A = this chain, B = another copy of it.
Amino acid sequence: MSDSLEKLYKYVEDNKQYMIDQLREVVAIPSVSAESGKRSEVIRMGHWLRDRLEKLGAKTKLAELGNQEVDGKTIPLPPIVLGQYGSDPNKKTITIYGHYDVQPAYKSDGWDTEPFTLVQAEDGRLIGRGATDDKGPVLGWLLCLEAHQKLGLDVPVNLKFCFEGMEESGSDGLDDLIVREADGWLKGTDFTCISDDNWLGTERPCLTYGLRGNNYYHIEVSGPSADLHSGVFGGVVHEPMTALISVMSKLVDTNGKILIPGVYDQVAKFTQEESKHYEGLSFKNQDLIDDMKFDCLIYENETDTLKSCWRYPSLSLHGIEGAFYSPGCKTVIPSKVIGKFSIRTVPDMDIDTLNKLVTGYVEDEFKKVGSKCSVTVSCIHSGRWWYSSPNHPNFVAGANAMTRVFGIAPEYKREGGSIPITLTFEEALKANVLILPMGAANDSPHSTNEKIDQFNFLNGIKLFGAYWDEISKL
């Protein structure tokens, strides 16, 4: 191990209470982007980061994104905090993304402690909203940089920071900003690193090399010009709901098999090489069952569960707009109903091809129903899947860094969900993206009693330094 890193590791251990106190300070700012009344707190958190970056000697810029309409009120969007540290042409340049907004949290949701007051539990948990998602990691990068400065160590790479305040609320304006700044503030990026994810388990670090995409569809079935009385019209007319429910029942079976012909033809074949990544993973079906407090798993064995989540498409029925949805009873025949479902996509599915398959199939099935009502199928939004080779130098650097810090090689995982910004970074900056998780699988981001373990937080700061070091040696 290099001298520099040894010093860094020791510094982190020697200053751990300071670092935890710093996390306490950022958790105490309730930067909830989803609540308009807390918007000023989100902005305060953005300014906190900008000030801290400036103190560390970084150049900064607050990219203002204009206003947003929420519940009839116009409120400002929080700025994207851009920062730049170092511009040595002999060093590699890493763009680091993170977000400083958090999910809503109230003690009454079921928290054991006040969500915006960091609690240091005996068992090492640092409990508080945003501790793992994503204030711990964002702060970690700054603390790592500060440590280098305090120790008089050279930072072996150039750093660019891109911290947003709207991640939990749709990342308004971020895509455009990245595209706009690709030839500006973010120019010269060699690698991108995102630390906004969690390990697969709780003991072994991991790298994330794939995300599913998501296509969202609406099936609109319409008929009469207004809702009908089911006494007067029941049995007399072709009801839009009957036709919609019939078509929706033909999309997917109980075991998750998508019934739209052609969908699986697009899915990349499972290879021998790929199968290695599924061996010996620290994942148990029982973890999911515990999480759900109910066993409704389709597969008996872990590999099948992970494959179905990571590398096969899925289709979920989300709901119906225009039909009755409240408690109690209402006997109306809805005149127009919109069925909503989404398909999670994987390599090598093509969005346009999928849209054609879905639209054609739904229209065909609707014809079979024989209703006089009319149907329209639309893809409301689509986000492509992302897949990166674990053999890419950026990943090798991440893996080496993990091995150095934790003494064990990382697991490789994919995610069933989407982080759409990953793809935007990759395409706009034409640079590989590494997803380098800091927290453990049981951190409960978005849920009650969110935490990051002191072990993960402190070793994460070391990991970031080791990653810079690995990148500098490429």
Chain A residues with CB under 8 Å of chain B are 212, 214, 216, 223-226, 228-239, 241-243, 245-246, 248-249, 252-256, 288, 292-299, 305, 308-309, 312-321, 323-334, 340, 342, 344, 369-373, 380-381, 415-418
Pairs of residues from A and B, 9 with the lowest C-beta to C-beta distance, nearest first = A231-B417, A235-B314, A319-B324, A319-B323, A234-B314, A249-B249, A224-B292, A325-B325, A225-B293
| Contact yes or no, A344 B298, CB < 8 A | no
> 30 interchain pairs (CB within 8 A)?
A216-B329, A223-B294, A224-B292, A224-B293, A232-B309, A233-B416, A234-B316, A235-B314, A236-B314, A237-B292, A237-B298, A238-B254, A238-B255, A238-B297, A239-B316, A241-B318, A242-B252, A243-B254, A245-B317, A246-B249, A246-B254, A248-B249, A254-B371, A296-B373, A317-B323, A318-B332, A320-B323, A329-B340, A329-B342, A329-B381
CB neighbours of A319 from chain B (8 A): 241, 320, 323-325, 330, 334
| Contact yes or no, B223 A344, CB < 8 A | no
Taking the closest CB of chain B, its distance from the CB of A257, in whole angstroms, is 9
Taking the closest CB of chain B, its distance from the CB of A419, in whole angstroms, is 9
| Contact yes or no, A371 B236, CB < 8 A | no
Taking the closest CB of chain B, its distance from the CB of A150, in whole angstroms, is 39
Residue of B nearest to A342 (CB): B331
Tell me which of B212, B229, B299, B340 contacts A231 (CB under 8 A): B212
| Contact yes or no, B230 A344, CB < 8 A | yes
Tell me which of B235, B256, B331, B372 contacts A216 (CB under 8 A): B331
| Contact yes or no, A292 B228, CB < 8 A | yes
The answer to whether A292 and B344 touch (CB under 8 A), given A239-B316, A319-B334, A323-B318, is no
Q: How far is the CA of A246 from the CA of B236 in the complex (A)?
A: 24
Q: How far is the CA of A330 from the CA of B331 in the complex (A)?
A: 26
Residue of B nearest to A212 (CB): B231
CB neighbours of A296 from chain B (8 A): 223-224, 237-239, 371-373
| Contact yes or no, A234 B323, CB < 8 A | no
Taking the closest CB of chain B, its distance from the CB of A34, in whole angstroms, is 13
Residue of B nearest to A238 (CB): B296
| Contact yes or no, B308 A331, CB < 8 A | no
Taking the closest CB of chain B, its distance from the CB of A94, in whole angstroms, is 27
| Contact yes or no, A256 B229, CB < 8 A | no
| Contact yes or no, B324 A340, CB < 8 A | yes
The answer to whether A241 and B317 touch (CB under 8 A), given A216-B329, A216-B331, A235-B309, is yes
Q: How far is the CA of A326 from the CA of B322 in the complex (A)?
A: 8
CB neighbours of A237 from chain B (8 A): 256, 288, 292, 296-298
The answer to whether A315 and B238 touch (CB under 8 A), given A216-B331, A249-B248, A296-B373, is no
CB neighbours of A330 from chain B (8 A): 318-319, 340
Q: How far is the CA of A413 from the CA of B334 in the complex (A)?
A: 26
